[in-house]
A and B are shown apart, each in its own frame.
Chain A
């Protein structure tokens, strides 16, 4: 059974960089039918897709966040990571990693496996 687990600091200071890692177990991150993504949810609000990455390094970004987002994949550790720079209070949210089901040559499809999420609070 595929499982995803987010890890990283729960508190980040304004203007600093948020860094999270997602560890995938039960499947290879190099699977050809998977993109790996990050989605966030501010407290009491809806879902916002942030970014996706394929094991080869191919990426899709949400244009609204692209200038501040870096995503990377480490196939040797079966992990992928998110960095969000210059954070403000508006970036306070539960951050989820998820598998984005994929089939060539299209864009990724639906999110079929999710991590439990990790709350990141931006505050001094």
Chain B
């Protein structure tokens, strides 16, 4: 199984400041034949299902604000919220879809400082 880890476990950022979340996979999720990273990011607010933010490591889902961006390749990935808004308070998960079983990171909780 590909094990996903995230850091930090939680972070508190002032409104308007940058939040950075890291995700690491135990093996590469870069598929060499198409040069795509099989990595997605989700946002989960309390009492709600996860919401897809980013797929292919850096492609924003339709309707997701452009303050959310994804980067990285291979085994190391980053989700950046460029200017934190109050509505961004949530837990963020990364997920690999390179191979089964599909696995999620443990989550990073983002709060307002």
- A17-70 residues at the B interface, CB under 8 angstroms: 46-49, 60-64
CB of B60, distance to nearest CB on chain A (Å): 12
Interface size on B, residues (CB 8 A): 22
Does B77 belong to the interface (CB within 8 Å)?
Answer: no
Residue from A46, A112, A114 within 8 A of B104 (CB atoms) = A46
Write the chain A residue with the least CB distance to B52. A112
Known: A96-B49, A117-B49. A107 touches B40 (CB 8 A): no
Could you say which residues of chain A place their CB within 8 Å of the CB of B32?
A: none
Write the chain A residue with the least CB distance to B93. A47
Does B72 belong to the interface (CB within 8 Å)?
Answer: no
Residue from A60, A101, A110, A116 within 8 A of B49 (CB atoms) = A116
Count, A-B residue pairs, CB within 8 A: 55
Could you say which residues of chain A place their CB within 8 Å of the CB of B100?
A: 60-62, 107
Residue from A46, A49, A111, A114 within 8 A of B101 (CB atoms) = A49
- B59-98 residues at the A interface, CB under 8 angstroms: 61, 93, 95, 97
Asked if B52 and A109 make an inter-chain contact with CB atoms under 8 angstroms apart, the answer reads no
Cα-based distance from A66 to B61 in the complex (angstroms):
31
Asked if B51 and A110 make an inter-chain contact with CB atoms under 8 angstroms apart, the answer reads no
* Cross-chain pairs A/B with CB under 8 angstroms, 11 sampled: A46-B106, A47-B50, A47-B104, A49-B101, A60-B100, A62-B102, A63-B101, A110-B52, A111-B42, A111-B50, A112-B52
B-to-A contact residues, CB < 8 Å: 38, 40, 42, 48-52, 55, 61, 93, 95, 97, 99-107
Q: A47-B93, A108-B97 are in contact. List 7 more A-B contacts (CB 8 A).
A: A62-B101, A63-B101, A101-B55, A107-B100, A111-B50, A112-B52, A114-B50
